[in-house]
Structure formats: structure tokens, C-alpha cells
Chains A and B, each alone.
Chain A
């Protein structure tokens, strides 16, 4: 449930290989030369139109031709699918169609999936590649020689950082207006959530857990989301900076009032789950309210984290909510 999605312009279904010239004025006006061709009856006008297109393509305005972009990691997918014009997306990662990891599953199905290897990217004639995975210098250099630009998505930890990141990525995609729209939507949502938030002194003490007992302290986007949702973060209150792993003993001494769990959609058994399976933790789970946030809401850090915060805020125990 992403409110921002509904504000996206409806995508145009154009041909893939036809020559197109896009004039991105407000992001909503498009022209396809092939359509124009059909409307024009005279050959003369057709050739004039072609000549015009060529001039435009070669002119400085051509710099505004939207770059062909591919994303090769789940988080990059979200940014690409959320900001880019459908016509400029050449490929998304294989995780983009996984409902457990992606918020744009339906949109993602339209595009080819790539594993992100250099060959595939070059074959796709991608001009920009979005990723949040570290690439070795050799690979980036090689790709750049082929005219592919690698954009590393940062990991923003606060809403301001998210806004900055969104802006810069949107600029790379030549979709700054879209970026601003997303940011504006995010801020509207944040304002809504701020109103719903319980007073700081009644905010419940929550602890966020991954199956192995890992948790996030202050300075992480998890912490930001928890605070926005209106709960206190146990890890932050214990003084943690960044990510860490909880100790069952610590948990026994300072139990939280609310459990927020992540990454439990992955299914199957695993040795890492011994933390969760331990009787002490099981008893805690039986005693306090538990909120399982679907992974796709906060696997990555971006404007869509507002939905994670909203998800939690909606499910807070009634006593904590402000009327």
C-alpha cells in the first residue's frame, strides 16, 4: 500500500525500437515519432519530421534524452521502478519480481531480469546502472569504458538523507521532478504519522529483531522508522550505535514491551534461528505484542519506509495510541 504509487503518470506503451524523442517538460508530455509518422500523410512532412528529430537528437536538448537504466540489486530496483520512466528501464534485478523483496512486483514483470554481470549490462546497452552492492574497481572501470555509468545507491539512515539520496538518484535518471514528487509524498506521510504518534512518555519500548538476534541501534534507518512509528528503540536506549546482536541475557534483564520482527518471511529452518527458538525468547514472544513487518517494506532504505512506519503505527497496542 504505497500512496505515492497512485500519483505516477500512466506509462506509455511505446515501441521498443522505434525512434523517439522525449521532451520532458513536466514529465507528462511525450511524443513518439512513429505515431507522428502515421498521422502525417505526406512524405515531405515525414522526412522533415525525421530531420527535426535528428537535429533535436544532436542538439543540446538531446542531453535531456532519458538515459537507459538498469538496476541490479533489490534496493536499486525500488529506486528505479519508483523514479524512472518505464521507457528508460532496460532491466531490473531478479529479485524485483519477488513479492517478498519488492514493492513493485507487477511493474517489474514487464522488464527483463538481469543478474548484473558485465556482459548482460553491455548487451542491454544500459547507460546507467543502479546498485547498492559494492563492485570491484576493475569491473567499474571496464564498464565505464563501454559507456556504462555505475551509480552506487547510498544507505540513507534518516528521512533527510533519504530525501537527498532520492534527489541525487532522480537527477542521474533525469527525472528530478519525479524525485521531488516522491519526497513531497514522503513528507506528507511523515506529517500524518507525526500526528498519530503517541506522546514520548507513553511510547512503548520496542525491540527489533532479525532471526539471529541482530538488532539496530541509533543511526540506522530501522531506528528512524521505529521512532517515526512512535516507539522507543531498546537497542538505541542501550547505547548501541549501528547494528549489533542481542544477547539473551541482556534481553532477560531489560525486556521490551513490544517486539518488531523482520526477515521472517524467508521461510524454512536455519541454524541462525536458535536465538528465536530459545525458550526464553519464545516466552517473551508469548508475553508481549509482536508485529511482523513484511520484509519488502523495510529491506531497503528509501521513501517507501514511511509505509513500514505506518504499518507499525497502525498495529501498536491500543493503549499506546493517541486518540
Chain B
């Protein structure tokens, strides 16, 4: 089932076209990666899909137009994880994760048992249950990333948009986060992730969307999108590739300078 259907999305920032006519789809159970070199427009596109930037084009969530959803419906259907690890106040982990239940709370009512249960479950799944009463500023980078991810998962939304969730994480935590996202997608949600790491993208994602200078360069399975020609064209690199345990992997190997390209 297609959960997100975006057609001809264009976004202008400060008079410049940052995203130009990109179309994409995400189905239930899919983990989709948004790739591209720096400045390709990935973050802007993701924010636009979340309804956080004005855009031209059409976005349909579960068959309904994005604009037709009420604020609350949209909040319950779509969960967004921005770049960076912003928390302006040093709340405890539990309180931060509880913020994810906001779309489900009635205006003046305190969190119900269902909400508490959802929070407990997500704390457990992300492995930060024992950090629940620690305050955010005492956490390490990996713990912070997991906390913010837990907050997103606590929304229990069928669609998750995450912007570089593994940036600045060590390999252990990178893999952990990707596994969490994979599990969540496997549970029936559609997850779109902006990534820089080609290896992780190739291993964990069902579909890759490659952007270049705001436009769609390629779309499809990892092996197709991360072909040698495409990598040379978009990233100006050459890569090794292979398969392990039924998973396709790609390893960026060499930069392509004009002389080496001629070779």
C-alpha cells in the first residue's frame, strides 16, 4: 500500500530552486533512502514532504492530499526527525520521548495508560530504558540519537521521515539505528531516511532515491541506483561492491579526478 505519493515536488529557497520536479513513492514496509551529494536538496525535500516548507506539486498521504489533513491528523500520520540533536532544555529521556505522544493527547488531559505503555515500549525497543531518568545533556551522542529516534517512534505514525539519523555516530550506533528503522518499517510503516552513507543505504534500504542538484537522478533498487556509472556521475567516485549474507554492499573507494577518469 502506498503511504506517501509525491508528484513533481519543487521547492524554492531564497529565490533559488533547490528541489526541481522530484516524484517519489513510499509503500508500507519500505525503508527508502534519499541520497545525493551535499547541497542536492535532500533535507529540503524531506522537510517539504513533511509539510514544513512551502512547495509546488502534490503530496498524498494514505491517499489524501497533505493540505487536506488537519494539523492533528498530519501529526499522527507523519513523524519527522530533523537533523542535529536539538533539545533546547535538558529534559529527561522519558519526558523527551513522551513528547512524541503529543499528537494523541487531548488538550487538557494528562497522558493516559496507553500513552505510557507506548513510551515504555519504545524505550525498551531502542534500548534506552535504563536511561529513562537521565537528563539529555548528560547523554553521549549515540544515546541522544536513540532518544530522539525513540521520540519519533513513540508517535506510532505510519510514515516516518528522518533526516540523517546516523550522522556523527560511531559504527555500533549507526548500525543500531538503521536496524531500528528497518524493524519499524518491517512493522508496516513507510520510512524515508536521508543518508550520506552509501554502505548503510545499500544494505538496509529497499529503494534508493538519488538526487543531484535538486532533480531526480535515479530511483530503484540499490544495485541499480549505485551502479558504477551513476556513482561516477553523481558522486565522482568509484566504489567496490559485493554481497554478504544476501545483502548488497557498496564501498566508496576512490575519488575521480579528471586525470584518473581519463585512464
Are A and B close enough to touch in the complex, i.e. CB under 8 Å? no
Give A residues with C-beta under 8 Å from B: none
